[in-house]
Amino acid sequence: MAPAIAPGPPRVAGATSFRFAKPAFDIYLSGMPIIRKPLEIPPEVARQFADKMRPFHAEDSPLKRDEIAADTAHLLLQHMPKGAKLRLADVLELFRLMR
């Protein structure tokens, strides 16, 4: 005798039955904590960053704002660890957050 199958919800013509997948746990990174050294920026560079932020917020032209942000990204990249990435969008976000 075949095992009894529990009746499910009534079927509707054209409907498909599916179940959502269970979320997979990230086993690879669960035991590997990511430790980063705090970024040490010299005080002179922090002042230059603040000095560039003022004309950035005063500028109306998006092209000029991007130029100021690109200069600032270049300045910050000189003091970041080797291989670090800093996108223009990251600098724009920093300016926005520090307004």
Q: What is the pLDDT of residue 71?
A: 95
Separation in Å, CA 64 to CA 36, 69, 70, 73, 87: 33, 9, 10, 14, 17
Which one has a higher pLDDT value, 81 or 60?
Answer: 60
Structural domain span for residue 58: 40-97
Domain assignment of residue 34, yes or no: no
Task: Please tell me the number of Cα atoms within 13 Å of 53 on its side-chain side.
Answer: 16
Determine if residue 63 is left, alpha or beta; phi over 0 gives left, psi from -120 to 50 gives alpha, anything else beta: alpha
34-50 residue pLDDT tens: 666 667 888 999 999 99
Considering the domain boundaries, does residue 45 fall inside one?
A: yes
| Residue-level pLDDT at 56 | 95
Does residue 4 lie within any of the structural domains?
A: no
Write down the pLDDT at residue 92. 93
Is residue 78 domain-resident? yes
Residue 16 lies in a domain: no
| Confidence check: pLDDT of 21 > 60 | no
- Does the residue 52 lie in any domain? yes
Residue 56 lies in a domain: yes
pLDDT digit string, tens, across residues 54-77: 999 999 999 999 999 999 999 999
Contact 89, 47 (CB under 8 A): no
* Domain-embedded: residue 33: no
Count: domains in the chain? 1
